[in-house]
């Protein structure tokens, strides 16, 4: 499955480059603003349908209860600590570095928000770092599952409720659907508040 994902990604990069270089701005805007959203909504619908068809999903959700908070909490704390350590090692602003990591993979939010709070340099870094978090999760999931079944969920961060969810379910099993979706959903909710909270430490 990974090879098909990578092929689709490469095809998308080529199509995007050609579209920007040769295509109409109206076509580019249509793809980036409407077609992308339509396919994302379709993806969420299919995963929601899969969740609804799983007779054990609701039972699992009820049994797990507050334990569902453990994975997103650990992921959030680990991401922010990694940002702090990375900032100190590289000798850059540790507050900004933590804020970048607090995007949890949500690059479309993190880039603009970090740019507004810390400037365009950090905005670009926030976009790139979180984009590569999603991309790396897609690539390493088949290997990460050998370490621990929760490793891809932690790696994916906020993306585990949408873009990386099919990959995680494919390699980790449908039993991880509830955990993966709920973790991504919680991290998506708290990401903007976490970024702003960290920025206020300046």
User: What's the pLDDT score for residue 130?
Assistant: 94
- For 181, the enclosing helix (H) or strand (E) is helix 177-199
Domain extent listing, the chain: 56-199
User: What's the pLDDT score for residue 152?
Assistant: 93
Through-space distance between the first and last CA atoms of the chain, rounded to whole angstroms = 44
Give the residue with greater pLDDT, 50 vs 181: 181
Q: Helix, strand, coil proportions of the chain in percent (round to 5)? A: 90, 0, 10
Least confident interval from 56-70, 103-117, 148-162: 56-70
Q: How many CB atoms lie within 10 A of CB 24?
A: 9
Q: Which string of DSSP letters, residue by residue, matches 101-130? A: HTTTT-HHHHHHHHHHHH-HHHHHHHHHHH
Per residue in 62-101, pLDDT (tens digit) is 666 666 789 999 999 999 999 999 999 999 999 999 999 9
Per residue in 22-34, pLDDT (tens digit) is 555 555 566 656 6
User: What's the pLDDT score for residue 126?
Assistant: 93
Give the residue with greater pLDDT, 174 vs 2: 174
Q: Is the pLDDT of residue 171 over 60?
A: yes
| pLDDT level of residue 155 (50, 70, 90 thresholds) | very high
CA distances from 41 to 7, 36, 72, 109 (A): 22, 9, 23, 17
Per residue in 33-63, pLDDT (tens digit) is 666 667 656 765 765 676 666 666 556 656 6
The percentage of the chain sitting over the pLDDT mark of 70, rounded to a whole number, equals 70
Q: How many CB atoms lie within 10 A of CB 44?
A: 15
User: What's the pLDDT score for residue 179?
Assistant: 87
* Length of the chain (residues): 202
User: What's the pLDDT score for residue 62?
Assistant: 63
All residues at 6 or more sequence positions from 119 whose CB lies less than 8 Å from its CB, including other chains: none
User: What's the pLDDT score for residue 129?
Assistant: 94
Average of per-residue pLDDT values in the chain: 82
């Amino acid at each position: 499955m990974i090879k098909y994902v990578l092929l689709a990604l490469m095809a998308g990069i080529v199509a995007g480059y050609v579209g920007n270089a040769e295509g109409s701005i109206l076509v580019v805007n249509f793809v980036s603003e409407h077609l992308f959203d339509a396919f994302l909504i379709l993806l969420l619908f299919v995963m929601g349908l899969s969740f609804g068809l799983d007779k054990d999903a609701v039972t699992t959700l009820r049994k797990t209860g507050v334990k569902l908070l453990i994975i997103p909490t650990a992921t959030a704390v680990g991401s922010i600590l990694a940002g702090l350590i990375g900032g100190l090692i590289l000798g850059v602003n540790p507050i900004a570095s933590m804020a970048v990591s607090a995007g949890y993979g949500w690059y479309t939010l993190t880039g603009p928000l970090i740019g507004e709070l810390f400037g365009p340099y950090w905005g670009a870094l926030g976009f790139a770092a979180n984009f590569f978090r999603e991309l790396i999760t897609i690539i390493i999931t088949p290997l990460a599952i050998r370490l621990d079944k929760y490793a891809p969920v932690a790696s994916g961060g906020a993306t585990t409720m949408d873009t990386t969810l099919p990959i995680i379910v494919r390699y980790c099993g449908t039993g991880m659907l509830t955990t993966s979706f709920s973790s991504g959903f919680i991290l998506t909710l708290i990401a903007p508040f976490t970024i702003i909270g960290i920025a206020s430490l300046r």
